[in-house]
Each structure stands twice: as C-alpha cells, then as structure tokens.
Structure 1
Amino acid sequence: MKKRICILYTGGTIGMVPTEKGYAPKKGYFYDRLRAIEDLNEPNMPDWDMIEFEPLLDSSNIAVDQWNQIGRAIRDNYDTYDGFVVLHGTDTMAYTASALSFMLEGLSKPVILTGSQIPLCQLRSDARDNLITSVLIAGQGIVHEVCLYFGGKLLRGNCAVKTSADGLIAFDSPNFHSLAEAGIDIHYNTDAIVPPSKGVSLNLVEFRQTSIGVLKVFPGIQFSLFESIMTESLKGIVLETFGAGNIPSYDDALLPIIKKAFEHGTIVTVCSQCPSGTVKLGAYQTSAALTGAGAVSGYNMTTEAAVAKLYYLFSLDLDRDLIKTKMEENLRGELIK
C-alpha cells in the first residue's frame, strides 16, 4: 500500500512570488505549483495532500501561536497519514523544529521540516530537491522524529542551526551526526536514529506564552543595563557565554543579577556561543560561580533547543527544581553528553 504524506504549507520563501515590495506568499498559489512537478506524482512517490495555513507567514513572524497551530495540524491528521512535511521559512525553521520535537510526545512517524533559499518559481531554485527528497524521506518511514532536511542533509530538528543567510547549504548540526545524506541514494546513519515510540499515543503539549529571554555575553558588556529585566515575570533566560561557559568578571556584576533572577524563580540556562563543543561549568574559574548563582548547564544544546525546551517544561506546570533538573537531561536527543 502506498504511503500517504501530509504537506503542511506554513509560508516561507519556498512558495513566495515577486511583488512590488519584494517576495511575499500568495494564497492559493502553491498547490497548483506542486501538482505541476512531475516527480511528485511519479508512481514511486508517496501519495500526498497539502494543507495551506491561513494566513501564510514569513518565518520571522512565527512564534508560539504558530508552533501550536502546526502541532495541532499534525495531531489532528496523525492517524490519516504516514508522515508529515512542514514547509517553513528558513529564518526560524530551527526554532520550529526544536519546538515540535518537544511538543509532540510519543511521536512515531516522520515529521520533516524543509524550505528553500530561492522560491520555487525562480530559476536555480533549491526548492524542488528539498521538497521531493523530504516527501521521499517522510514516505520511507525510517526516521520517527522531528527532522530538518536541507541541502542534501537530514538533521535532527533540535540539533539544527541555520548557518548561512544566502547559501544553498543553509543548515548544519554542529554537535550531532546527520541522520541521512542524500546523494544518488539516500544513505541513513542508522546508529544515530532513535527507535519509534511504541505503545504510546501521540500527545500534543501546546506551549503557553511564557516570558523567556536570550542574553549574549560580549566583551565590554554592561550587565547593569540588563538588571531591570530580571523581574519575577521573567521565567527563563538562555545565557550565551564564551567557550565552555565563561563570563567576564567585570567587578562581579553579573553574578548578583543571576542570583536575583534565581531568587525570583527564573531558570538561567547556560549555553555556549561556539557552534560546537559543550558547556562545562566549573572547568574555569570564570564559569564556576554560575552554578553557585543557581544557573544550570545547557551542555551542547543549541540556543534554539534551549529556548524551546524552556517553553515546553514551563507548559507542563512543573516546579522550578524539576525544570532545572530536566533542562540538564536529554529528553528528545537535543543534548549529547
């Protein structure tokens, strides 16, 4: 029996058309463009349907409400289809992939995010290959998690980051192997693929609107400028530090702020600005005090994954200590110790 794939078209460059104000999505346009691609209708391809979101969005405008909308579309159609392809803009695709990986508990089918750097309607577009290969991967059913396919590589969704604004190989997974590479054939890295969830039904955890921030440390940073945001309303913050978790010690200005945030109940998660490698709190004197101030290690999580994980854990109504514990645990393959 042929596999059935659901294509969720949320917007993004892949389906945009030229306008007087630049590229923009056009309602009702993209389905006919897909039907015109002969390869998508070949006998060896899975059958597919498309759900077009309303409104179509540039991915810069995608946030918690849109993550929940995508999650609901997968949940509501989960029993009808063998896999899902989410067409999405590239700017926040890694954030959405991370969010979906946490939202979709008990997932046992492929959910593949993809898009393009050049619209399908343009010459030299990368959209055609990204789309066709994503549909094939979703139909093969070898992966059973949220993934991101782009430029010939299948990446774990919550380990992916966007690395190029204009290159056709726009995403990478600095701390984890690719799950597959597409050349003449699609070669899967079977050792890296997690087994499907068995005996568990899909459960969607919708994210709540939660006050979460990201603070990037830089030379000369005046920490006092950020003290005003460390209020009781700030639930979580991702601190992007140097190297393995190091911070400048300028008169120890940061630590009192972190302690204040901790006292207010804020979860401070330390990630690294380095694309690869891991945070090791305490490896250097400049990082040891972060633990004493109440911060937790993000190890080698991407900032995208850390933000999505905070949204997820706060949406579960867990107490602060349990959230701190789970931020340092591997829940969906996002953390490689």
Structure 2
Amino acid sequence: MNTRIDHDWHTERMKRRILVIYTGGTIGMQSTDKGYLPMAGFHDLVAQQLKTGAVDKLPKFDVIECSQLIDSANLTPTDWTQIGQLLAIHWQDYDGFVVLHGTDTMAYTASALSFILQGIDKPVILTGSQIPLLELRNDAQDNLITALLLAANYDIPEVCIYFNGRLLRGNRSSKIQSAGFDAFDSPNFPWLARVGIHIDLQQSLLLERKVPSLLIPEFDAEAVAIVQTYPGMTARPVEAMVDDTSVRGLILQTYGSGNPPDANKALIQTLQRASDRGIAVLNITQCSQGKVSQGAYATGATLNRIGVVPGADMTLEAAFAKMHYLLSQSLGVDAIRDALQRPLCGELTR
C-alpha cells in the first residue's frame, strides 16, 4: 500500500527520527495540460530538493508515500482512518510526524486527527504548500523544512498545522486564503508559535502531554450533514437531511451569535423533529470570529427549547470532525450532545 524510503544523509548527532507521510496535495504535484495533478516519486523529489549545504542540520527522517495520492478536494472521512492507522502503526518508531496534505481540506484532517489521537505525547504537524515543490519559486521547501525542525526539536504534544511562519492548533485552524502564502489562521485561538528569525513557541498554550490510546475509528462518511442558514431559505433541504436515515449528526451554521430564522416555522419544526428522532444537532456561527451564545437573542433561545446544542467558538472543520468522531464511538445521543459542548482536545472555549 505504501512505499517507505529511508534517507541517511543526516549526521548521527541527530537523535530524533521523524516520519513524513505524503498523502498528496499541491506540495507534490506537477503541472499538466489538465492543471496540477498529484505525482508519484515524491520521496525522490524531497531527496533532490533538500540536498543543500545545511542538510546535516536536518533531523533524520523517513518518507512514506501513500500509493493512492489524492487531491484533497476529494478527501472523505475514510481517509482520516487511513492516515490515523499509518500514524498508529509507526507511532513507537518515531519521535514526531509530519503529514503532507492538500490545503483545501487540511484543517478538516488536522481537526479529525486531533480527536483520533487525543492525549498524544509527540508532535503531529500537517503542512503543504500553495506552489508545488517542483516549481522554481515555491513556499513548499520552507514549510517542509520548518515542519521537520518543529517536529524534531520541540515538545509539542498535539496535532498542528504549520504554514508560512504560523504554528496553529489543528482543530482551531481554517483555510482563509485561496492563493496567499498565509493560507491558514486560527481566528479564535492564539498561534502556538510564530516562526521568523527565531521560533517563538508559546509553551503555556500547549495541551497536556499524555499517552494516546491509538485506537483508530472507522467513520461513516454519510453520518454528518451541514446546513447554512440564508435569507429566505426553505425547510426542504433540511427536511431531506432529517429524512435520510443515514444522517445521525447535523451541523447548523446560523447568523451572528447563533441566531436562526425562527419565523420560519417549518424549519424550526424540522429541527425539532431531528432532535426528537435522535439526531444530534449542533449550532455554530457563520462568523469567522466569535462564538455562539444561544439565547442571547430570542431567536437563538428557540434552539435551546428544541434541544439544539450550542457549539461555542468551534470552527466548521472542528465541528464536523468532532461530530464524526463522537458518532464513531458508539455513544448514545445524550452523551454525544454533552460531549459536543465540552472541550476534548482544545477545540473550543467554554
């Protein structure tokens, strides 16, 4: 399934060993007449690009290249399981991990891995690039080298995204730029580190170091649906989701501090029916900053009455991944509703 390539260009002084998992994404793509596409042989490209005069300062690392490389726009929750399994298989053999991933859904995968690997005692750092490593001018090499150095030289016991000088908690991250090098930010949580001339790690922000269970769950890709409120919306799309027996979790993106169009009686009745049917309904804000205060306005209080769970300041990516994770744990709906409101690995502020 995977190809493992060992790189022994590094001095024996470097004691920590890092595993790089290449899943696909722009960082390893090549230009074709159809646009950028994933290319095989990424390990050879890395070997060529990193043979510099400073290579002896890099940690010792190995590369695993997944046999089925994906454009991250095609990511499904099943891919989270496969990445998690790769990490679990090699967990005891390495001191840190770098996961190379496409930017479009990187924040979803970082969020999912944060729940799958709760309590980790080693760094897992996702990175990628906006321009492929193969191109003369690119952001790929700096992101890769810095992610390797962070994973090897710093005690960071959580899943993170490193991109363009920012180390971010994975489940607090969102892609905010489609073309800029500063593609990611964490609007409701400080950066874990700022990387410039020096690496300024905010140790006090890091999660507590524990020992993960490494029990990697299987995910049902159809179990979670998302609906966003908009002016003049009808209840029909939500009715279709609620009537779909495969849907067990519904994420509602409402206005401002968590306000739905409560004058839309059919919509509220449909959400009530979802709650009564045992679907966990989670309310998050459409705003990139701030949190849901369900009940600050009468419209939001309506959701409290029908059993909709307020999602605090979770990103959409974290909410989606957390719902999937909780549904994979064979919990009852009341336990899921309770856990959605509690921080499991730093994904929300109470």
TM bucket (normalised to shorter chain) is over 0.9
* C-alpha distance in 2 between matches for 1:283 and 1:251: 19
Q: Would the aligned equivalents of 1:5 and 1:138 in 2 still touch at CA under 8 Å?
A: yes
**Aligned position for 2:225:** 213
Give the unaligned 5+ runs of structure 1: none
Q: Would the aligned equivalents of 2:173 and 2:184 in 1 still touch at CA under 8 Å?
A: yes
**Aligned position for 1:131:** 144
**Aligned position for 2:171:** 158
User: What does residue range 156-195 of structure 1 map to in structure 2 within 5 Å?
Assistant: 156-195=169-208
Residues 49 and 40 of structure 1: is their aligned pair in 2 closer, same or farther, counting only changes over 3 Å?
farther
**Aligned position for 2:3:** none
Please tell me whether residue 248 in structure 1 is matched to residue 261 in structure 2: yes
**Aligned position for 1:223:** 235
* AA partner of residue 59 (structure 1): S
Q: In angstroms, what is the RMSD of aligned CA positions?
A: 1.4
- Aligned residue for 1:253, secondary structure, equals helix
Residues 78 and 316 of structure 1: is their aligned pair in 2 closer, same or farther, counting only changes over 3 Å?
same
* C-alpha distance in 1 between matches for 2:132 and 2:204: 34
* AA partner of residue 252 (structure 2): L
* AA partner of residue 196 (structure 2): G
* C-alpha distance in 2 between matches for 1:41 and 1:35: 13
**Aligned position for 1:307:** 320
Please tell me whether residue 203 in structure 1 is matched to residue 214 in structure 2: yes
Q: Would the aligned equivalents of 1:105 and 1:205 in 2 still touch at CA under 8 Å?
A: no
Please tell me whether residue 74 in structure 1 is matched to residue 96 in structure 2: no
* C-alpha distance in 2 between matches for 1:309 and 1:201: 17
Using the TM superposition, name which of 101-110 and 46-55 deviates more.
Answer: 101-110
Deviation of residue 77 (structure 1)?
Answer: 0.3
**Aligned position for 1:4:** 17
* C-alpha distance in 1 between matches for 2:307 and 2:75: 31
TM-score (norm 2): 0.93
- Aligned residue for 2:67, secondary structure, equals strand
Q: Would the aligned equivalents of 1:39 and 1:132 in 2 still touch at CA under 8 Å?
A: no
**Aligned position for 1:239:** 252
**Aligned position for 2:45:** 33
Fraction of identical pairs, as percent: 46
Give the unaligned 5+ runs of structure 2: 1-13
* AA partner of residue 130 (structure 1): N
Number of residues paired by the alignment?
A: 334
* C-alpha distance in 2 between matches for 1:273 and 1:184: 36
Runs of 4 or more, structure 1, over 4 Å off, are none
What does the per-residue CA deviation read over 1:165-197, in whole Å, with 9 as the maximum and x for residues that have no partner? 111100010000000011011110122112311
Q: Would the aligned equivalents of 1:205 and 1:315 in 2 still touch at CA under 8 Å?
A: no
Deviation of residue 25 (structure 1)?
Answer: 1.1
Residues 328 and 300 of structure 1: is their aligned pair in 2 closer, same or farther, counting only changes over 3 Å?
same
